[in-house]
Amino acid sequence: MTAPSLLFTSESVTEGHPDKLCDQISDAILDEFIKNDPSARVACETATTKNAVFVMGEITSNAKVNIEKIVRKTIVDIGYTDESIGINGNTCDITIKLKEQSPDIAIGVNKSFEVRNQTLESDPYNLAGAGDQGMMIGFACIETPDLMPLTISLSHQITKKLSELRHAAILPYLCPDGKAQVTIEYSYGKPKHISAIVISSQHLPSVSDQLLRDDLLKYVVTPICPPELMDKNTKIFINPTGRFVTGGPLGDAGLTGRKIIVDTYGGVARHGGGAFSGKDPSKVDRSAAYAARHLAKNIVAAKIAERFEVQISYAIGMAQPTSIDFETFGTETISREKITKLISEQFDLRPAAIIDRFKLQRPLYLQTASYGHFGRSDLNLPWEDISVAASLKHLLN
């Protein structure tokens, strides 16, 4: 972001995209288990293809859940009630193959390495180990009020608007599947110009290309994209193939966890590789990524840096992270040493502490499974809270 001119692109997909459909099914199942059994261990994967859904994975819980009913409701709620537009949630084939969590994994989650080896006292936050190894990334920047990159923010707004227009029957010819992509020219790290907008929206065969283009310009592009960043050189492509009638699982197979860049920062920040959907909060792929976003957002909200990326890594079965480090991209207002001290004092990154702080053992996950897990001003997500920023400012003063 130090170049005088840099083009950067992010994409988003609608709730009816086949991969997003699978994310939502997995998270709907997770929500139902965790509602009835907060300590449930869930690692639920979903795949879909032509009028068929496959649910597989590992679940250990005392709750009794009608998984088929949840799958059908999720599909129907999205708007898939006709096989000809993607899948029929009322009649599709559903195959369920689930088993219990591996006891080898459960050992470390139930009692951490440190407690088992007496290197840490057995307090509640030291007791639970991470549900997997891995590295998680948190990011925030000053490009938007939600402290998210502008490219992914605009992409999400576009895809969300497509679904809103469809559900409200304002554009009744729209179908559930769709994508958006926004390219912005940056100058020395600041958004300068929207270079390109791409929207691909599934539609009924009766609608003309011209009507679709006119309506999406009127109802989507114009109200969402900042006019000061657009001019006659901004390229706008709407359904560039000329036709998008075959969509959803009828057009492409779907799979949980295949849109991890859409879920996070649109490629602006690095990614540890772990997906979120279908995983209970003992899996640090999910809970620690939320904690990392919370950390980064509060650092930026406290004006300690304008752009901040943090990486946290874990070993399976261990409570304490194996590493924590960050990058400020030259935008910090205090020394790295002071930032490191503030992080160690204000952010407890042990898995049990994260779960307790954000109250993650409750059904809040389905709502995050489309349009991103971060920067969601439309949702009351605990990891988006910036109250710690006040404490950080007070400590600095």
Dig out the tokens for 92 from the structure: 């599709």
The C-alpha atoms of residue 146 and residue 360 are separated, in whole angstroms, by 21
Could you tell me the two tokens for 168? 């409200």
What are the distances in angstroms from CA 69 to CA 15, 29, 98, 255?
19, 10, 16, 19
With H, G, I as helix, E, B as strand and everything else as coil, classify residue 56.
strand
Closest-CA residue to 56 (of 15, 26, 24, 17):
26
CB 234 within 8 A of CB 194: yes
169: left (phi over 0), alpha (psi -120 to 50) or beta: left
For 52, list phi and psi in degrees, rounded to 5: -145, 145
Residues identified as active-site:
17, 19-20, 45, 58, 179, 244, 252-253, 258-259, 279, 283, 285
Residue 193: CB atoms within 10 A of its CB come to 17
Task: Say if residues 136 and 312 touch (Cβ distance below 8 Å).
Answer: yes
Task: Give the C-alpha distances (Å, rounded to integers) separating 86 from 28, 83, 253.
Answer: 20, 5, 10
Q: Which of 358, 360, 329, 328 is nearest to 342 (CA)?
A: 328
CA distance 256 to 349: 26
Note whether 151 and 291 are within 8 A (CB): no
C-alpha 89/C-alpha 80 separation (Å) is: 6
* Beta strand residue intervals within 188-298, DSSP E: 190-203, 235-238, 254-255
What's the CA gap between 26 and 57, in Å, rounded? 10
Amino acid occupying residue 382: P
Give the HSE-up count for residue 97: Cα atoms under 13 Å, Cβ half-sphere: 7
263-281 residues labelled b (16+ CB within 10 A) or e (exposed):
bbbbbbbebbebbbbbbbb
Residue 184: phi and psi, rounded to 5, are: -120, 135
